[in-house]
Amino acid sequence: MSIKKSFTVLLAGASALASSMSYAAEEVNVYSYRQPFLIEPMMKEFTAETGIKVNILFAKKGLIERIKREGKLSTADLMLTSDFSRLALFAKDGLAQPVASDILNKNIPSKFRGKENQWVALTSRVRNIYSSSERVGPAPKITYQDLATPEFKGKVCMRSGKHPYNVSLLASIIAHEGEAKAKVWLEGLKANLARKPQGNDRGQVKAVKDGVCDYALGNSYYLGKMVNDPKQVSWAEAVNINFPNQATTGSHLNVSGISLAKYSPNKENAIKLMEFLSGDVAQQMYAEINFEYPVKENVQLSKLVASWGTFKADDIALSDIAAQHEAAIKLLDEVKFDL
């Protein structure tokens, strides 16, 4: 083979390799605690808009632990969570990295972003108190603190105190009132439970329908899911949705969100996806598909969610709540809440 021909072959091979590497780079790897029915349509929109392929690993648990084990060899670019607790843990464990993005800063209010944008919220949900429409009716003045008062004895249902949604609520109470008062509240709440903590948020609404209790703690978007489920619509119809603490701190918000992995192999594409999920298209999909509140301002709510009315939200920074998560877990253990 001549020198000229050899050079031509070598150049062609290098070009093919570069093309292959370029193609491989046009992807992003997402580890997701959120469910496929919600996430996959958004990722298809992102790919259609950018040409970047999205690879998703779905799981209900263990993803943070997996990234820890993988270390620098991890293929994870992004951690997508259904709750704030995992976002805070991901950053605390040193698995996240800061993100510099004018788009994220513009789309997402500062109270919904972590330190140096190590995580950002994508949606919010209210931790509502549901009341029996038959035995109680609407309770617009109800507070989280009311649930621990004597008149609620044997009338409250809720899932495990250690579920991330409830840990976040307790952490917010600690942030507002201090550990001592939060412990008294937690003890009073436990004393008022109609049964041991169990099941999920929808199960608590079913318990109200079945007459087990008159009040239940649950996230707002579950009501939308029940209304649209023929098997559960009767549960939804048995309760009123109430926004707690309207005259004081405002209703507690939990969030879903996303974080950039420390060793992200496709960092540029990952940031593009974060920006997409904070934008109008994805925020509207969150609102319509899963009945969540967008964090980007001026994105329209679903008609069903809008029908629940406006409310005052607790404006405490999520970073302040995150700072109290360990204290919340400690209190739950001290009062043996789930036992």
Q: Per residue in 62-100, pLDDT tens?
A: 999 999 999 999 999 999 998 888 888 899 999 999 999
Local confidence band at 322 (pLDDT 50, 70, 90 cut-offs): confident
Helix (H, G, I), strand (E, B) or coil at 253: strand
Instruction: Report yes or no on 16 lying in a domain.
Output: yes
Q: Does residue 105 sit in the same domain as residue 168?
A: no
pLDDT digits (tens, 9 = 90+) for 141-178: 999 999 999 999 999 999 999 999 999 999 999 999 99
Q: What is the pLDDT of residue 25?
A: 55
- Tell me the residue range of the domain where 167 lies: 125-252+312-334
Report the mean per-residue pLDDT for the chain. 92
Same domain, 195 and 324: yes
pLDDT at 219 (0 to 100): 96
Confidence grade of residue 4 (pLDDT, cut at 50, 70, 90): very low
In this structure, the answer to whether residues 229 and 265 fall within a common structural domain is no
pLDDT at 8 exceeding the cut of 70: no
Residue 5 has pLDDT above 50, yes or no: no
Q: Does the residue 305 lie in any domain?
A: no
* 135 and 239 fall within a common domain: yes
Do 96 and 135 fall into the same domain? no
In this structure, is residue 281 part of a structural domain? yes
Rounded Cα distance between 280 and 244, Å, is: 29
Task: Tell me the pairing of strands 27-32 and 53-58.
Answer: parallel
Confidence category of residue 318, pLDDT binned at 50, 70, 90: confident
Domain co-membership, 226 together with 187: yes
In a domain? residue 306: no
pLDDT given at position 207? 98
What pTM was computed for the model? 0.87
Angle at 327 between CA 32 and CA 179, to 5 degrees: 135
Our count of domains for the chain comes to 2
Q: Domain for residue 80, yes or no?
A: yes
Based on the fold, state whether residues 102 and 56 are members of the same structural domain. Answer: yes
pLDDT score of 135 more than 50: yes
Question: Looking at the structure, do residues 106 and 163 belong to the same domain, yes or no?
Answer: no
For residue 307, being part of any structural domain is answered with no
Residue 136's domain is classified under what CATH number? 3.40.190.10
Q: Lowest-pLDDT range, 147-151, 283-287, 319-323?
A: 319-323
Q: What are phi and psi of 71, to 5 degrees?
A: 60, -135
* Cross-strand pairs, 27: 53
Residue 3 pLDDT level (bands cut at 50, 70, 90): very low
Q: Note the pLDDT of residue 16.
A: 36
Same domain membership, residue 271 and residue 196 = no
328 and 179 part of one domain: yes
Answer yes or no: do 146 and 258 share one domain.
Answer: no
d(CA 110, CA 112): 5
Q: Which of 285, 284, 290 is nearest to 225 (CA)?
A: 290
* Cβ-contact 276, 46 below 8 angstroms: yes
Neighbours of 39 (CB within 10 A): 22
| Domain-located, residue 187 | yes
In a domain, 241, yes or no: yes
233 and 151 in a common domain? yes
